[in-house]
Structure 1
Amino acid sequence: MLFGNRDKDDETVVAMLASALRRDIAFGLLPPDQKLKIEGLRQRYGGSNHSMRETLRLLSAEGLVEATTQRGFRVMSATQQDLEDILFMRLEVEKLGLSRSMENATVQWEGTVMAAFHALGHAQRQVQAAPDDVTALEWDDACCTVHKTLVVASRSPRLIDMAAKFYNQSRRFHLALLREGRIDFAVREARQKALCEAVLAGQTTRALALLEEEIRQDLGEQSI
């Protein structure tokens, strides 16, 4: 039991550290290509050498951090090529996930979809009314929940995990658009309403087209 509890405590610490680093990578506080030194991170975020190293290994598996041979860790790059590749993967994975979810649709899942879009609408109104780091993070979390919900009924744990991985990789591009004031919320909200309605009506072709448009605009493809 003692060893079991310690393992569980270690996992909790790593989860908390990973959440903090994900947030700071997304907001650009840990910028692309920055070297990540264990001791400096410990002073900033806490934890032990072991827990911080495990955290960086976890984030490396998620594609947010790069482990370089004999040179430690660094924040993953954020080039135009990176953005285009993430966009490609999000489109492939999320469209497949939504298609399978709609094939497996249940009343319970449809209710979850409605609730996720409702929460997103509230978060979007909040971030427009009082834009700051708190409302931005809440908005991004609500966006993430919508995209997770759309694929969760696919019944493929690996697909769901992959969709979450590529969403996390896209967050810093997504939040940069918000910081730069390059999001048309009126257009965005109208598209999201149409997407929700298409999903609930079982209109797969329309839903997939709207999801693709949402993801492309989510990553600012108009500037590519």
Structure 2
Amino acid sequence: MRIAVIGASGNVGQRIVAEALSRRHQVIAIARTAPTDSPADVTWKAADLADPDATAAALTGNDVAVLSVRFGNTDFARALDGVRRSGVPRLLVVGGAASLEIAPGKMLLDQPEFPDFIKPEATPARAALDMLRSESDLDWTYISPSMMFGPGERTGTFRLGKDMLLTAADGQSHISYEDYAIALLDEIETPRHSRTRFTVGY
């Protein structure tokens, strides 16, 4: 497939690109500027998500778009507008964990102990999910990582959930960038979560 990755130069985006290439997909990487050490088999296009026309032009002709950006720095409504205009049939969004529930009706972000310094990113991430849930045109999937999300091993062993925060046997809620990328590419290749959110964790 032709997979466009918006935010391909970021920590998660790089792993998604690597996973897609390992599965022999064609990757179109979209960022404001291309890095100097990009794999030779990646096609780079420059686009600013604040400009829906530029976003649409960069995405047109691809089978899937993946959005992997910081929500606090992104006008999500304008980004969605660009995706709609492109005609790309499917959108996968690298989401946040704060909108997951720790108990029925109790969202992580709303708990008194939730760190204030994370809220500037977590709050717009939840708003983006709410925006997608009211979306009538796009076939979207929002993928929330576990609470601890960072570089690690590509194990291929993890669990999927729906709206509840996943906690491993060690009591931690965590997933590596590498295993998250596997789950995302699995969803691209075999769609199971159309127009909904799911989460991945150990």
| TM-score with structure 2 setting the length | 0.30
More strand per residue: 1 or 2?
2
Higher helix share: 1
Larger Rg: 1
TM-score under structure 1 length normalisation: 0.28
